């Protein structure tokens, strides 16, 4: 197993400073970059451990606090184990943060993250990959659509509201995406009903995007997040296999 080195970094954006976690193999050789987008609960120890696992596989990984406009992480204080049914006040605090992160802000911030990665001595020349969770799956699509020349692969897991009737629905980015796309949907996810799953894949197909979308049976929204009540170990390991396969094909 490759030893890794993780550190806190600050990324200048057009609207301030985004705090982030950067991790890379300890030999400091430039590696392909992976931009890891958080779920709704934000930058925290579990997401750092996920980034560490990717770095152990040979990648330089950046995990930005996408809610940086509201403060440094943790923006919302969280228990060690997150069970929204037991702690409904968590979503009451997180909800306004989600609503404030509009697609135009996402794309503006993504430009800053991608520029920072391009200038990092730990990142190899060339395009990057993205993996996103929950909210982050939407952010991955907005980023891949806005920066097609910079994003070679985009993965999303247990994303919600991917193909709505909204004029800025994430699936509408498909016509601009040149990356290979992989999405692992949760079948126990009220935020992504069957009709949205179909609309999302139809949009990718119509746009000629190389893609694979799979529905993980028995998985809930949040199945990769081991510090939450939605965690599903079998689905999580399936996600790692799919993600690492995508990265292997890309780099």
Whether 70 is catalytic is: no
Left if phi > 0, otherwise alpha if psi is -120 to 50, otherwise beta: which for 234?
Answer: alpha
Q: Say if residues 183 and 214 touch (Cβ distance below 8 Å).
A: yes
Residue among 185, 221, 227, 239 flagged as catalytic? 221
**Beta strand segments in the chain, E:** 4-13, 16-25, 33-37, 60-64, 128-133, 151-157, 180-188, 211-220
Distance CA 181, CA 183 (A): 7
Sheet with 128-133: strands ordered across: 4-13, 16-25, 60-64, 33-37, 128-133, 151-157, 180-188, 211-220
**Residues 94, 155, 160, 86: is their CA dihedral positive or negative?**
negative
Distance CA 243, CA 241 (A): 6
Residue among 39, 46, 134, 239 flagged as catalytic? 134
Bond preceding residue 74 cis, omega within 30 of 0: yes
Spatial CA neighbour of 176 closest among 201, 211, 204, 137: 204
Distance CA 34, CA 124 (A): 11
Residue with tokens 């990356």: 179
Residue among 189, 227, 236, 239 flagged as catalytic? 189
Whether 149 is catalytic is: no
Whether 134 is catalytic is: yes
Which residues are identified as catalytic?
134, 189, 221
């Amino acid at each position: 197993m490759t030893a890794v080195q993780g550190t806190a970094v600050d990324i200048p954006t057009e609207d301030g400073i985004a705090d982030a976690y950067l991790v890379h193999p300890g030999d400091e050789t430039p590696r392909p970059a992976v931009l890891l987008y958080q779920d709704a609960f934000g930058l925290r120890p579990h997401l750092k451990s996920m980034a560490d696992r990717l770095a152990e596989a040979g990648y330089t990984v950046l995990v930005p606090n996408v809610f940086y406009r509201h403060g440094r992480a943790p923006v919302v204080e969280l228990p060690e184990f997150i069970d929204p049914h037991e702690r409904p006040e968590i979503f009451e605090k997180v909800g306004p943060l989600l609503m404030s992160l509009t697609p135009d802000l996402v794309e503006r911030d993504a430009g800053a993250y991608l520029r920072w990665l391009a200038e990092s001595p730990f990142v190899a020349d060339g395009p990057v990959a993205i993996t996103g969770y929950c909210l982050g799956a939407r952010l991955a699509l907005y980023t891949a659509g806005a920066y097609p020349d910079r994003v070679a692969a985009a993965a999303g897991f247990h994303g919600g509201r991917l193909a709505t009737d909204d004029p800025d629905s994430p699936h509408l980015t498909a016509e601009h995406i040149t990356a290979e796309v992989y999405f692992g949907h949760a079948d126990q996810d009220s935020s992504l009903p069957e009709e949205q799953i179909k609309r999302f894949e139809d949009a990718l197909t119509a746009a000629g995007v190389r893609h694979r979308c799979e529905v993980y049976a028995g998985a809930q929204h949040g199945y990769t997040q081991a510090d939450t009540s939605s965690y599903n170990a079998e689905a999580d390991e399936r996600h790692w296999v799919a993600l690492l396969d995508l990265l292997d094909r890309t780099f």
